[in-house]
Structure 1
Amino acid sequence: MLLSLSREGFKIKIIPVFLRYDYGIKSRGDSLEYQGFYKVLKQLSDEIYPFWYDEYLTKKDELQKRVIKFVDDIRPDIVFFILMKDEFSFETLDYLKNKYITINWFCDDQWRFENFTKYYAFHFTYAITTDKFALNKYRKIGYENVILSQWASFGFTEDIDFEAIKYKYNVSFVGGISGYRKWLINKLEKAGMKIECFGVGWGNGRINFNEMVDIFKNSKINLNISNSMSHDIRYIFSSLRSIKEFLKSKKRIEQIKARNFEIPAFGGFQLTNYVPCLEDYFDIGREVAVYISFDDLILQINYYLNNDEERKKIMINGYKSSCKEHTYFHKLKKIFKELGINL
């Protein structure tokens, strides 16, 4: 059974235990925890006291002492974690759980449940998963306080005039380079398509959140390309490196990511690889376009570049859906409601 914090006149006090910068590296810019979760928590409550632990990533022993002291000084109602790996010891997590309500957002249950989540879940009062297929896994290990949620957009652009958009790019991709992504983009370009790529490892380099938003809106087609292990045999046998990658990679299951919601929320048309459960959030073919193979991807790029009206309809429908349902404001408010807190 889920606990309830509901009481009249209750003012929730939350400590987010987050990384301030992407992977704790300042040069990489703001983290998703900051842009998405922290900013929304600030909208939901006036009493948000963040503990940024970037500087302690290489000082694990000191981190345990610092976080315990910080939390005990504030005495919050909830301590909200988004663990990356083993930054916090079981002893620290148990100490906090015994005194406060603690929550962890488990990011990758699709492929990390067996080697991470099942060991950490019991050290939190609540676990949040983005994988509905993991719910039975939680039950099998005897963990009941699990909440199903989903990634989302960190915001949205209001009142877009879609008819006034002057497109800069026909096709773009935003995301870090990987072996598969590089292979796919190269094949598209060999097929005569120009793809503008942005992110770590690409020629255009890393971009900030504001630049990303601008690219989404000003691209006729925004590609969303998987970062999981590809099962396309053409890629697997394209090099010795890709064969080794296929044999070693643990990321063999596709998963919905924040990008699925960010692209439409900022006015972009999204053409994404199919991900299980995407249909739970978007009406495929009406709010998002989906490809299932490389050949299908070429077919759909050409189709939507030559069918503007249909592309715009899907784009606008996806925009409306994301703005209405798929931001962190919506997701976090729903989570707290399940906890018995109306913010």
Structure 2
Amino acid sequence: MKITIIGAEGKYNAEYFFIKAFKRLGYEVNFIDQYEGIRRKTLIRLLSTRLSIFRKFLNNIRINKIIRNMDLGNSDIILVFKGELLTESSLKILSDYNVYLFYPDTFRFGLILKDRLQYFNGVIVTTLHKIFYEKLGAKRVISIWWACDPEVHRKLNEEKIYDVSFVGTFYPNRWLTLSKVKRKPHVFGNFWYLKAGYHHPPVYGEDYIKIINQTKINLNIHHPSDLKAEAPNMRVFEVAGSSGFILTERMSILRNIFKNIETYSDLDELNEKIEYYVNDDKVREEVGYSLRQQCIDKHTYIHRVERILKEI
């Protein structure tokens, strides 16, 4: 079986982990980077997902030229990751094949979903709430969770040098929470012009795994739309896979995924739990070990690929 994946090239992004899992299971993967040849990738991504007028200029970028001229007939499955740079004419071409959209930005960026989902045989999302996508024209909605890669997300023999840390891009709700954490957090990420705690540059890959392992309490703060969709983000599974102790917002669905994950519902509970767990090394280690085992048993990218193939 041959699988074509259209997405964004990047070490340790979703495309990387899914491609690795498909190959591990013995499938041939053809990857097309929709951002190849684009210099200001972040700017183009922001404009293409937020401004309808900008999308009129996408027709001549490389990815759409490739789709117009490429023979995709030997692909058994085509998976498009977000597809923010694909024009409607490209989607019409792809619609002749067994094409699915992987769209983890739950309830966001309707601009690249409205009047476009009908070109896909289905959309793969990270929430159980499907009505949002069905109303936008999705023929089928397949729900999966994020996952970990046990070879990457793993326990390291590192000294705990951070009581509390957070890794992620600035969102207003994240700043509001972190600025009120009594035990100052170490914050790693982009666009933190409003300060909250001790700030550090963003970390990726092995540096990211190292920070998880060097931290007593790994805070996680979701995008508001993820909370609304009850869609645990990648970080939940990455910290769990790394045997880290994570403290994240309460979602009813989380207890069905991890039986002993620690959550909070408000700032008072967050601060209380930080002060309790920061001094209890034994409990944190036990929880982290348990989360890792649950990931290995049920929540790897191999599990997710097997589920996708079963569904489509």
TM-score w.r.t. the length of structure 2 is 0.81
Provide the rounded CA distance (Å) in 1 between the counterparts of 2:119 and 2:125.
15
Higher helix fraction: Structure 1 or Structure 2? 1
**In 2 relative to 1, CA 118–131 (structure 1 residues): closer, same or farther, beyond 3 Å?**
farther
- Is 1:13 matched up with 2:21? no
Give the secondary-structure state (helix, strand or coil) at the position aligned to 1:132.
coil
CA-atom RMSD in angstroms: 2.8
Tell me by how many angstroms 1:51 deviates: 0.6
What is the identity, as a one-letter code, of the residue corresponding to 2:35? D
Contact 1:218 1:268 (C-alpha < 8 Å) held by counterparts: no
Deviation per CA, 1:54-81: give whole Å up to 9, x if none.
13566622332212323x1673111110
Q: Which amino acid in the other structure matches residue 148 of structure 1?
A: S
Partner of 2:68: 68
For residue 223 of structure 1, give the secondary structure of its aligned residue in structure 2. Answer: strand
CA contact (8 A) 1:156 1:323 kept: no
1:258 to 221, 234, 240: 234
Counterpart of 2:172 in structure 1 is 179
User: Which residue number corresponds to residue 327 of structure 1?
Assistant: 300
Counterpart amino acid of residue 303 in structure 2:
H
User: Unaligned regions of 5+ residues in structure 2, if any?
Assistant: 39-43, 45-56, 193-198
Shift of 1:218: 1.9
After TM superposition, give the deviation of residue 201 of structure 1 in Å: 3.2
1:194 is aligned, of 166, 179, 184, to 184
- Aligned residue for 2:116, secondary structure, equals helix
Q: What is the CA–CA distance in structure 2 between the aligned matches of 1:333 and 1:117, rounded to whole Å? A: 26
Q: Which residue of 2 aligns with 1:45?
A: 26
Question: Structure 1 regions of 5+ residues with no counterpart?
Answer: 1-11, 22-29, 230-249
Distance 1:89 1:251, change over 3 A: farther
Counterpart position of 1:297: 270
Alignment correspondent of 1:128: 124
Distance 2:98 2:74 in 1: 11
Q: Which residue of 1 aligns with 2:54?
A: none
Tell me if 1:33 matches 2:14: yes
Q: State the match for 1:107 in structure 2.
A: 104
Deviations 1:71-107 (A, max 9, x none): x16731111101253x212222122221x21011122
Q: Which amino acid in the other structure matches residue 299 of structure 1? A: E
The alignment status of 1:212 with 2:184, answered yes or no, reads no
Provide the residue aligned with 1:240 in structure 2.
none
| Residue among 159, 163, 167 paired with 1:170 | 163
Give the equivalent residue in structure 2 for 1:78.
77
Is 1:198–1:205's contact at 8 Å kept on the other side of the alignment? yes
Return the alpha-carbon distance in structure 1 between the equivalents of residues 213 and 302 of structure 2.
Answer: 21
Mean CA deviation greater in 176-185 or 217-226: 176-185
Task: Give the partner amino acid of 1:264.
Answer: A
Q: Deviations over 1:303-326 (max 9, x none)?
A: 111222222221111111112211
Q: Is residue 314 of structure 1 aligned with residue 287 of structure 2?
A: yes
| CA offsets 1:146-191 (integer angstroms, 9 cap, x no match) | 2211222244458848xx6521222111111233322322222xx3
Question: What is the CA-CA distance between 1:264 and the residue it aligns to?
Answer: 0.9
Q: Secondary structure at the match of 1:311?
A: helix
1:251, distance to aligned residue in structure 2 (A): 8.6
Cα separation, partners in 2 of 1:74 and 1:141, compared to 1, 3 Å: closer
Number of aligned pairs?
Answer: 287
For 1:19, give the aligned amino acid. A
Q: Is the 8 A contact 1:225 1:273 kept in 2?
A: yes
Supply the AA of the counterpart residue of 2:238.
E
For residues 49 and 299 of structure 1, the distance between their equivalents in structure 2, rounded to whole angstroms, comes to 49
- C-alpha distance in 1, partners of 2:276/2:134? 45
User: CA, structure 1 residues 304+143, in 2 after alignment: closer, same or farther (shift >3 Å)?
Assistant: same
SS, match of residue 298 in structure 1: helix
Is the CA contact (8 Å cut-off) linking 2:250 and 2:263 kept in structure 1? yes
- Between the aligned residues of both structures, percent identity stands at 25
2:143 to 148, 151, 172: 148
- Counterpart CA distance in 1 for 2:224 and 2:132 is 21
Between 1:256-265 and 1:48-57, the stretch displaced more is: 48-57
